[in-house]
A = this chain, B = another copy of it.
Amino acid sequence: MPMTAEEIDAFLAEPRLCHFATMDGNGHPRVRPLWFLWRDGEFWLTTRREARHTGRDLDSSPRVAVSVASEDRPYRAVIVHGRPEVMPPSEDLLLAISTRYGDAEGRGWAERASKEPDRVIMRLKPETLLSWDYSREGTDSPKGTVR
């Protein structure tokens, strides 16, 4: 059963990783764990445009898919598809993303990242958003995708 908008906001406010899927230059899927920030119905992420496969893949294929899931029961998951808007990083946004995962570590990381010439922010407004909360139904839901 899908989550409500409020439940999705609460789930994505937890400092989980997302798994960010792109298509590589050969037309094959690629996926990487990434930090993210969910704010006002959009994902904010960061990568490097040249030094990361994820960033380079956007050149050949702008569509991405993002998966966030709880590792423990009750299983919950959010999956979105869309085309991220790529923009230069602002210190505020880098900090907002990185400090979700620890204040001191995030600050140190953002300071270094802001000096990388190819560091970018990705803003991803979902074109589609799927969500599941397995606690609401039997474990063999026809909508189930965890297994």
Contacts and interface: CB of A to CB of B under 8 A. Distances in A.
A65 B29 contact: yes
Given A112-B140, A139-B109, A140-B109, A71 B29 contact: no
Question: Chain A at the B interface: mostly helix, strand, loop or mixed?
Answer: mixed
| Copies of this chain, count | 2
Interface residues of A, number: 49
Given A23-B23, A65-B21, A34 B81 contact: no
Interface of A: 15-17, 19, 21-23, 27-35, 46-47, 51-54, 61, 63-67, 69, 71, 73, 75, 77, 79, 81, 97-98, 102, 105, 108-109, 112-113, 139-140, 142, 145-147
